[in-house]
Structure 1
Amino acid sequence: MTDLTTVTARRRTTAGGPPRVAQQRRGLPHLGAVAALTPFALFLAVFLLWPMAAVVWHAITPNGVLGTSGLVRAVSGPYRSAFVNSFVLSGASAVIGGVIGLVLALVVRDLRRPAWIAPATDAFSSVASQLGGVPLAFAFIATIGTQGLLTKALSAVGIDVRSVFSLSSLAGITLVYLYFQIPMMYLVVAPAVGGLRRSWREASELLGAGPVRYWLTIAGPILAPSVLGGMVLLFINAFSAYATAYVLSSSTSLVPLQIRFVLQGNVITGEQDLGYALVTWTVVLMGVGLVVMQLLQRRAARWTAA
């Protein structure tokens, strides 16, 4: 009897041993993963975190004294209009681009013929979402600029576009930004749209729900986190864009253009800290946007895992 008890205890101990060891091993970081991430972490620390910390420090210590006068001045007076214009430009391009990108994703999802539409749209969106700067600005200037091909063609038939539209205005810059905002929104929201199951719609129809009720109570709430997260991403993308706006209109008061103006030394002596303050507010805005996006992505991931 004693031998049987001893053998049973040994079996229990042996059976319980490996899981405990496995749990201990799981808790330890993998040395290979740490070694692989170390260069990337050093790169971020040297070229992102350190410069960002230096910029924030200069912004909160104008003239070497700790204070917030520089931050307050960066959002007041003539610089307030730069933030207002940037918010209007970014908000308009994010909302318009977000809505059109969502509609495009829904349309492509329901198309079955021709079969090349979806792959072609994906390929074009991947390229167009990253196209910006001088090439994009030049393409629009050559097409619908003051001396653009389309502008001259319309003028030949009696339609003077130049009297009601200009690429150098906020509306014109917004139109140019939509070229890369719409494809970016399509890429962001397409996986969420593709995750809508047909069984959900069939079940809602069996329960007597029409198309409007289906979108308001089922599809809409499911897509809302992804759509809102995509619009936040578009807002951040438009707010930080610089080269396209500079080529189209270097005189337009936008935050990235004001930062360039200050960093080039076009300020009164002793006011160099103003540029650090402008960059700090931009970094804060980007950080808030990234936090909101992360929360929305977690919300959207619930349906992906379901």
Structure 2
Amino acid sequence: MTSPAATPVRARSFADRARRCGPWLAVAPFLIVMLAGLVLPVVALASGAFEGDSFKTSLNSGYRGAFWGSIKLSVVCAVLGAGVGLLVARAVLAGGTVLRRLVLTASGVLANFGGVPLAFMFIASIGNAGIVTGLLRDWTGLDLAGSPFSLYQFGGLAVVYLYFLVPLMVIVIAPALDGVRAEWAEAAENLGASRWQYWRHVAGPLLAPPVMAGALLLFCGSLSAFATAQAMVGATVPLVTLQIANALSGNVSADNAGVGAALAIEMIVLVAVVMAAYWTIERRTARWLR
């Protein structure tokens, strides 16, 4: 027969076990989605990538050129997006509350606006037969279709990418700018420091890590973008995401599925390395701005 004193002990042990398992049960749906949507596809890609000479073929000149094209585009978009986003966020946070809420809300929407709709918007506005192109030609005589700038080349694709990368940078860098207190500038001024010395020795070192982290995030975003580039440039600009799509869909050769899987694995490794650097910088930034 169980003693009365044993019942509370068992109840407490059951409550302790439930308390320990509670967080795991709460994140179980997320872990299941991650397993089905990320882990299993990566395992399937890896099994296909190691068949035959897929990795060796993926390092040939054509695929290697696509990799360098994606990296070059991502670096340009990351640097420009980080710089412009920092300036926009700085100007917005210096304004009023209404402007801040309006721009941050719009940035949250625009940062997720991509794919074919974004490509169609730019083609319909400043493409060769776009509305803005026609209005400029009729009103000012400026013909964008005959200018060195082309929406369907490297520079045009970078401009389109910046449309959603700059708002993303605004969202990422705004908390870091909020962490730079106005009292620090006042203290530096009272100690005789110039504005340049304040940014050089105080605000600059504090903002450099979050800016670098934001640039890495933009790099990953532009590196993995696919639908916008496919709708706009096709094969005009060599990009690894387009090469993966062509290989997996059999547009090049029926035996290229393994090459597409190898390219995808290489992309995953590159993005994982960049994101590891991003998380490291973010952790240090959060510690410094407390």
Q: Same fold (TM over 0.5)?
A: yes
Question: Alignment partner for residue 192 of structure 2, among 203, 208, 212?
Answer: 208
2:289 aligned counterpart, secondary structure: helix
User: Does the aligned pair in 2 maintain the 1:90–1:234 contact within 8 Å?
Assistant: yes
Tell me the alpha carbon deviations over residues 209-267 of structure 1, each in whole angstroms, 9 at most, x when there is no partner.
11111111110110111100000000100010111111111123211111110111124
User: Does the aligned pair in 1 maintain the 2:250–2:256 contact within 8 Å?
Assistant: no
Corresponding residue number in structure 1 for 2:3: none
User: Residue type matched to 2:99 in 1?
Assistant: I
Is 1:52 equivalent to 2:42 in the alignment?
yes
Is 1:62 equivalent to 2:63 in the alignment?
no
Question: Alignment partner for residue 274 of structure 2, among 278, 286, 289?
Answer: 289
2:192 aligned counterpart, secondary structure: coil
Aligned equivalents of 2:212, 2:263: Cα separation in 1:
26
Corresponding residue number in structure 2 for 1:299: 284
Q: CA deviation at 1:282?
A: 0.6
Q: CA deviation at 1:126?
A: 0.5
Aligned equivalents of 2:154, 2:60: Cα separation in 1:
21
The verdict on how the C-alpha distance between 1:28 and 1:209 changes in structure 2, with shifts beyond 3 A counting, is farther
Is 1:137 equivalent to 2:126 in the alignment?
no
User: Does the aligned pair in 2 maintain the 1:75–1:83 contact within 8 Å?
Assistant: no
Aligned equivalents of 1:40, 1:238: Cα separation in 2:
26
Question: Alignment partner for residue 248 of structure 2, among 263, 269, 278?
Answer: 263
Corresponding residue number in structure 1 for 2:134: 152
User: Residue type matched to 1:126 in 2?
Assistant: G
The verdict on how the C-alpha distance between 1:269 and 1:138 changes in structure 2, with shifts beyond 3 A counting, is closer
Aligned equivalents of 2:252, 2:288: Cα separation in 1:
52
User: Residue type matched to 1:280 in 2?
Assistant: I
User: Residue type matched to 1:124 in 2?
Assistant: A
- Unmatched 5+ stretches in structure 1: 1-20, 64-68
- Unmatched 5+ stretches in structure 2: 1-11
Tell me the alpha carbon deviations over residues 157-181 of structure 1, each in whole angstroms, 9 at most, x when there is no partner.
2212112121110100100111100
Aligned equivalents of 2:84, 2:27: Cα separation in 1:
38
Is 1:246 equivalent to 2:230 in the alignment?
yes
The verdict on how the C-alpha distance between 1:149 and 1:261 changes in structure 2, with shifts beyond 3 A counting, is same
Scaled by the length of structure 2, what TM-score is found?
Answer: 0.89
Q: CA deviation at 1:73?
A: 2.5
Aligned identity (percent) is 38
Tell me the alpha carbon deviations over residues 119-167 of structure 1, each in whole angstroms, 9 at most, x when there is no partner.
1001100000000111111111111000011111222222121121211
User: Residue type matched to 2:188 in 1?
Assistant: S
Aligned equivalents of 1:262, 1:139: Cα separation in 2:
28
Corresponding residue number in structure 1 for 2:144: 161
User: Does the aligned pair in 2 maintain the 1:56–1:276 contact within 8 Å?
Assistant: yes
User: Residue type matched to 1:226 in 2?
Assistant: P
User: Does the aligned pair in 2 maintain the 1:129–1:180 contact within 8 Å?
Assistant: yes
User: Does the aligned pair in 2 maintain the 1:143–1:151 contact within 8 Å?
Assistant: yes
Q: CA deviation at 1:288?
A: 0.6
Is 1:33 equivalent to 2:23 in the alignment?
yes
Corresponding residue number in structure 2 for 1:17: none
User: Does the aligned pair in 2 maintain the 1:86–1:255 contact within 8 Å?
Assistant: yes
1:299 aligned counterpart, secondary structure: helix
User: Does the aligned pair in 2 maintain the 1:181–1:234 contact within 8 Å?
Assistant: yes
Corresponding residue number in structure 2 for 1:9: none
Aligned equivalents of 2:64, 2:258: Cα separation in 1:
16
Q: CA deviation at 1:28?
A: 9.7
User: Does the aligned pair in 1 maintain the 2:248–2:256 contact within 8 Å?
Assistant: no
Aligned equivalents of 1:190, 1:214: Cα separation in 2:
19
Corresponding residue number in structure 2 for 1:275: 260
Aligned pairs for 1:70-109 within 5 A: 70-109=54-93
Structure 1 segments, 4+ long, off by >6 Å, are: none
Scaled by the length of structure 1, what TM-score is found?
Answer: 0.85
Is 44-53 or 207-216 further displaced after alignment? 44-53
Is 293-302 or 48-57 further displaced after alignment? 48-57
User: Does the aligned pair in 2 maintain the 1:125–1:187 contact within 8 Å?
Assistant: yes
